[in-house]
């Protein structure tokens, strides 16, 4: 839903994608050294899997977006190029994909069901979601392409959208040891009206259930380590720079590419979040008059200062050339690989 509603740029609230999250998380990242039992590294590449979701088009009266699909494809590229994810272990569900890879609720749940058989207990599942989110009756939902939203009948939402606590249950059922979520989803009314396309009048939800519901820290029944990077904070919107990319995903791509690397050339989780917190607010303030957007991190079981997400120049250009095609067929489906995030 990246439609304009009196703003210089498109955003991601109901007009686009806004995320309303826990206020105390908005302070710049400050993490002390973690206990020895905290995870300091991802599993080897063969055990890394990613579920990438980008939704521009919705089937009901939910407002459309412009750059959710480009963001999803850009993230798929970053994971292969900089984070050593095998292309065959990245599943991209996006609005422009074939029917079996459309970002519908059944397709996504089917893939999560498959993960119960394929994800190793000592593996990693990374989930990227670019699309609408909403809170209704105290419950948080991610809106899939086939979700139906009606203000006068919330049962349609609960029956067709993907409840966040439901997603958490599916992830826990995989028994995978590490989970990382990258969320760029709104939490206000995603409906369109004649006077305010994509944004209904009324309060912007700022409930804590969204972050609390994504808490996967139950050691006896969930991953040993998890982290969630949110595109923006409580009461803020997540903006996009025209139809190309959202400010959040563009900056995250840059961070993983090496711009957030330390002196040793490593991009850590903490370093990536600091890069986001340093660059996204300034770019939004410049591109969107009055715009405020501050990404933040929620993590448990990871040593964010030590966990390496990527290494500067980790994949030689010659090796990446093999992936440089408009469309690539993989064991898990088809996804586009781009070479220039600025275009």
Element (H, E) at 135: strand 133-136
Residue 48 confidence class, pLDDT cut points 50, 70, 90 = very high
Residue 68 confidence class, pLDDT cut points 50, 70, 90 = very high
Q: For 139-157, how does the pLDDT look when each residue is reduced to its tens digit (9 = 90+)?
A: 888 999 999 888 777 788 8
Instruction: Give the separation between CA 321 and CA 137, rounded to whole angstroms.
Output: 49
Residue with tokens 């990527």: 310
Instruction: Give the separation between CA 252 and CA 280, rounded to whole angstroms.
Output: 9
Residue 214 confidence class, pLDDT cut points 50, 70, 90 = low
> Based on C-alpha coordinates, what's the Rg of the chain?
18
Say what the pLDDT of residue 211 is.
Answer: 54
As a whole-number percent, the residues of the chain with pLDDT over 90 amount to 46
Q: How much is the pTM? A: 0.77
34, pLDDT greater than 90: no
| Average pLDDT over all residues of the chain | 75
Contacts of 83 (CB under 8 A, 6+ apart): 48, 256, 309, 310, 314
Instruction: Out of 59-68, 265-274, 290-299, give the one with best mean pLDDT.
Output: 265-274
């Amino acid at each position: 839903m990246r439609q304009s509603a009196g703003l210089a740029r498109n955003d991601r609230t109901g007009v686009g994608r806004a995320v309303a999250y826990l206020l105390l998380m908005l302070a710049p990242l400050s993490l002390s050294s973690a206990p020895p039992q905290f995870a300091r590294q991802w599993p080897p590449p063969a055990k890394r899997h990613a579920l990438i979701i980008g939704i521009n088009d919705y089937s009901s009266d939910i407002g459309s977006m412009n750059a959710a699909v480009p963001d999803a494809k850009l993230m798929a590229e970053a994971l292969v190029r900089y984070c050593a994810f095998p292309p065959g272990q990245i599943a991209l569900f996006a609005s422009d994909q074939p029917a079996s890879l459309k970002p519908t609720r059944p397709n996504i749940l089917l893939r999560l069901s498959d993960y119960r058989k394929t994800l190793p207990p000592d593996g990693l599942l990374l989930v990227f979601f670019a699309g609408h989110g909403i809170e209704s009756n105290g419950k948080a939902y991610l809106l899939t392409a086939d979700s139906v939203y009606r203000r006068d009948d919330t049962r349609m939402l609960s029956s067709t959208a993907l409840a966040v606590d439901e997603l958490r249950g599916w992830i826990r059922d995989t028994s995978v040891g590490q989970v990382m979520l990258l969320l760029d989803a709104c939490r206000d009314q995603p409906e369109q009206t004649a006077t305010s396309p994509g944004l209904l009048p009324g309060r912007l939800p700022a409930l804590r259930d969204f972050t609390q519901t994504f808490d996967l820290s139950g050691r006896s029944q969930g991953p040993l380590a998890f982290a969630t990077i949110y595109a923006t904070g409580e009461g803020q919107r997540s903006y996009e720079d025209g139809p190309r990319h959202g400010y959040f995903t563009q900056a995250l791509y840059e961070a993983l590419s090496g711009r957030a690397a330390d002196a040793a050339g490593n991009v850590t989780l903490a370093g990536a979040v600091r890069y986001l917190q340093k660059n996204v607010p300034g770019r939004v303030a410049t591109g969107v008059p009055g715009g405020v957007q501050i990404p933040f991190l929620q993590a448990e079981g990871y040593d964010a200062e030590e966990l390496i997400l990527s290494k500067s120049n980790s994949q030689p250009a010659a090796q990446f050339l093999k992936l440089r095609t408009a469309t690539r067929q993989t064991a898990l489906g088809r996804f586009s690989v781009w070479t220039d995030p600025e275009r």
